[in-house]
Chains A and B, each alone.
Chain A
Amino acid sequence: MTTATLHIGPNQAIRHGLALAGRSVIKIRKNPESLLDVTLQPIMFLLLFVYMFGGALKGSTSEYLQFLVPGLMVQNIAFASLGTGMALNADIGKGVFDRFRSMPIARSAPLVGAVLGDIVRFVITLVVLVGFAMILGFRVQTEPVRFLIAAGLMILFGLCLCWVSVWVGMLVKTPQAVPGTLLVFIFPLTFGSNVFVDSSTMPGWLRAWVDINPVTHLTEAGRGLLLGGDWTAHAGWAFVWALGIAAVFFPLALRAYRGRVG
């Protein structure tokens, strides 16, 4: 019997990734506890910042709520990306990964599948955040399509940021080490931004970082899209950042994966 040699093209690789994303979604459905972080965190952040700091920062909690929500959307997406590396780190030691690797599928497919599956987590965290914010009095001041553009941009950014998480997840020994390591990235990214306060009161060196931080650009774009105002330039910068992060960390993650599993 003759068998033609097999090669995997990009289309097939995408199909393999999507099939494995389906696996992630099934696992989320069967294990709703894995969603505790992306459902409780946005609520806690909203309550903490709006009622504790809101009055002091903006004079009124309702005004601060409007200011805060677009940035909190970005921040929660960034925190949700921690889960990707943790889940993969736990998953990779299981026998099912050997099965995937013994099949004629793209090498990257299990990683791509895990990242794409996290779209579900991103959507849930955004729905919980914006839904709870609306109960507290938040209102989108523009048309719904602009809200969808904002959400889409933020999810795209999250998908790119996931590759940092995957990379770290492939390097550390235990899942617990993933958030500890990653917070070194995530903290300056989310808190070193204009999510919570205007950068105008910050010292110059900090402002220099805050002004180029992709989270700042994404937050500004979000404010423009949700509250009205110009957003395209900031969205453009955020987009470039997202692609840049993916371009650097996707190959790094893949290399770390190969190094780990042989």
Chain B
Amino acid sequence: MSNAIEAEGLVKRFGDTVALDGVDLAVPKGKVLGVLGPNGAGKTTAVRVLATLLRADAGSARVCGFDVRTHATTVRGLIGLTGQYASLDEDLSGTENLVLIGKLLGLSRAQARVRAADLLAQFELTEAAGRAVKTYSGGMRRRADLAAGLVGRPEVLYLDEPTTGLDPHSRNEVWSTIRGLVELGVTVLLTTQYLEEADQLADLITVIDHGRVIATGTPDDLKRRTGGQTLQVRPTLARDVSTVAAILRDLTGEPHVDLETGLLTAPVDDPMLLSTLVRRLDDAGVTVDELALRLPSLDEVFLAMTGRTRTSEGSAA
């Protein structure tokens, strides 16, 4: 059994709204799947089905080989859930929340206390451990949510938009936490509307829109599928710009020249061009500060696949 999470043909309707319209997902053990899509694409619904909180109208799903419908309790023993919905009791302190979860999972009071203290330390919440969760900042809350999802040492972790609404600093903190978990061998399903987040964290990305999977692959696969790559060259000396432009024109086509930054960019479809370019620059005696073959951003991928930009607030599409 190589897939920790498998789902085929998941359908879920809410009245006339089709939230999931035949979704297939597969996450190999120990990998991170990023489920990417705009608001209302069906990401959260998919997580709720996979976490046994919601029954699909059609299709099936298994976690570590156990059907989420017929073996719901077993599945619940394997998963950890963190995100927009599953959260903590606001009135209780961080410690009280984690101890409660530990006791519900069958730990003795003493064991639950030790586990809570360990996790709170790991997530740098020891100082806030005794305070009510409602006094936590956004970043602290997400970290506490993550800690809560880990009390039972889950094999599979669902992270439903773990950084939505966080400032960049807190977001980076959460990202590094997630990377740490992956190193421990946890399988992660992460939903996000942030393309950068999926690119940063995920081994595989499934793009969902209107309840359907519109693309699946590695981040690089998806970018490649969207179109060619971009060559970026920045000569050390501004006077070399025209020489570089001439070489690029010769090799690829008309480059775009940014006179402000001295950066030249040109579309390429043959990666082998890079070595030719290096040789030509050498021959011309031009030194460069920057020379890169860049894949298109996931923003560009998403635009190409859904035919529209993200509707969310936040960074521009």
Contacts and interface: CB of A to CB of B under 8 A. Distances in A.
B73 A101 contact: no
Contacts of B100: 19-20, 22-23
Contact of B64 (A3, A6, A7): A3
A96 B51 CA distance: 14
Which interface residue of B54, B89, B92, B101 has the most chain A CB atoms within 10 A? B89
Contacts of A6: 73-74, 76-77
A5 B53 contact: no
Interface string A57-95: 000000000000000000000000000000000000011
A5 B87 contact: no
Contacts of A260: none
Contact of B155 (A1, A102, A262): A1
B132 A96 contact: no
Interface in A94-123: 94-96, 98-105, 109
Contacts of B88: 95-96, 99
Nearest to B72: A104
Nearest to A96: B89
Contacts of B214: none
Contact of B76 (A20, A102, A261): A102
A16 interface: yes
Q: How large is the interface on A (under 10, 10 to 19, 20 to 34, 35 or more residues)?
A: 20 to 34
Nearest to B155: A1
Nearest to B65: A3
B315 to A, nearest CB: 26
Contact of A26 (B79, B90, B96, B103): B96
B132 A5 contact: no
Contact of A19 (B53, B104, B152): B104
Nearest to A95: B87
A31 interface: yes
B55 interface: yes
Q: How large is the interface on B (under 10, 10 to 19, 20 to 34, 35 or more residues)?
A: 35 or more
A98 B148 CA distance: 13
A36 interface: no
B245 to A, nearest CB: 56
A96 B105 contact: no
A4 B65 CA distance: 11
A182 B81 CA distance: 36
A139 interface: no
B133 to A, nearest CB: 9
A91 to B, nearest CB: 9
Nearest to A91: B89
A96 B73 contact: no
A21 to B, nearest CB: 11
A4 B155 CA distance: 14
Q: Chain A interface secondary structure, helix, strand, loop or mixed?
A: helix
Contacts of A3: 64, 66, 74, 77-78
B52 interface: yes
Contacts of A1: 64, 155
B152 A27 contact: no
B152 to A, nearest CB: 7
Interface string B147-170: 010001001000000000000000
B91 interface: yes
A184 interface: no
A99 B101 contact: yes
A16 B100 CA distance: 10
A23 B286 CA distance: 70
Given A6-B77, A104-B73, A98 B132 contact: no
B86 A102 contact: yes
Contacts of B87: 94-96, 98-99
A8 B74 CA distance: 10
B73 A7 contact: yes
B53 A101 contact: yes
Contacts of A8: 73
A252 to B, nearest CB: 21
Contacts of B66: 3, 5
A15 B103 CA distance: 9
Nearest to A31: B91
A109 B52 CA distance: 16
Q: Which 8 A-B pairs have the closest CB atoms?
A: A95-B87, A104-B77, A104-B76, A99-B86, A19-B103, A102-B81, A98-B86, A6-B74
28 contacts: A1-B64, A3-B78, A5-B73, A6-B76, A15-B103, A22-B100, A23-B89, A23-B92, A23-B100, A26-B91, A95-B87, A96-B86, A96-B87, A96-B88, A96-B89, A99-B87, A99-B101, A99-B148, A100-B104, A101-B52, A101-B53, A102-B79, A103-B101, A103-B104, A104-B105, A105-B104, A109-B104, A261-B53
Interface of A: 1, 3-8, 12, 15-16, 19-20, 22-23, 26-27, 30-31, 94-96, 98-105, 109, 261-262
Given A5-B66, A15-B103, A100-B104, 11 more contacts: A1-B155, A5-B74, A7-B73, A95-B87, A96-B88, A98-B81, A99-B81, A102-B52, A102-B81, A261-B53, A262-B53
